Chains A and B, each alone.
Chain A
Amino acid sequence: MGFCCFRVTELVLLQPDPFLNELTAMYGRSTENGSVWVTFKRSSMKSKAKRNKLGADALEFRCLVRATDGKKTISTLISAKDQQKFQSSYATVLKAHMHALKKRERKDKKKAAEVNKKEEKAPKKSRSSTKVTA
């Protein structure tokens, strides 16, 4: 597989699990500065010439997931078989690292006292519902 031949930066194609480990490390490295981009794309991993030759029906599509922090790029391919597992593991990784986002309660302290009472139940609901669906 000659990914390195046509890319300036190396695109490392990993298995789903190593990809998630590497993504976790990427989020860990970028806490003080920097961003992380994650891209989903439907791809057959074939060149345009090959795609035209094979025709639309012969192509096998999977979901290409790429992640970069601007220095390093990693990627993985998700097939229907891996989807459920990857989907939930990916959500877990995101949940573990996206804690810099603002919680609703902090918005307005005066209002928060009233709103909190109503909302105290709300997070519990969503928490238990995510557990059920997970």
Chain B
Amino acid sequence: MVYISSWDEFAERSIQLFRADPQSTRYVMKYRHCDGKLVLKVADNRECLKFKTDQAQDAKKMEKLNNVFFTLMVRGPDADITEVSGKEQTEAQPTKKGRGRKQ
């Protein structure tokens, strides 16, 4: 299986893969510190999706996907993931205008 180069495509297809077969789909994150490489893999025994990166910004995207998969795997394939996947965007909006750090 070749690596998928677009993050959005990878994220979308991996969620589809899980929903199609929740019991055999797993999500693997491999991190190699000495090479500074991160590989994500989603597979269901038939299909395998992979994404490779060395960029720190992709780690942030991965964090969101982690949360999506946590939600899907704990609450079931029909769980509502709009909150987990869309929350950051809707909440990031007001902070743009905000007065610096909110704490």
Q: Is the CB of B59 within 8 A of A132?
A: no
Q: Does A45 contact B (CB under 8 A)?
A: no
| A36 and B75 form a contact (CB under 8 A) | no
Interface size class of A (residues with CB under 8 A): 35 or more
A-B pair number, CB within 8 angstroms = 133
Q: Kindly state whether residue A98 has any CB partner on chain B within 8 Å.
A: yes
Q: Which B residues lie at the A interface, using CB under 8 A?
A: 22-23, 25-36, 38, 53-60, 63, 66-67, 69-76, 87-88, 91-92, 95-96, 98, 100-103
| 20 residue pairs bridging A and B, Cβ less than 8 Å apart | A27-B31, A32-B33, A34-B32, A36-B31, A37-B30, A41-B26, A41-B27, A63-B73, A80-B74, A91-B66, A94-B59, A97-B31, A98-B31, A100-B33, A101-B53, A125-B96, A128-B95, A129-B91, A132-B91, A132-B102
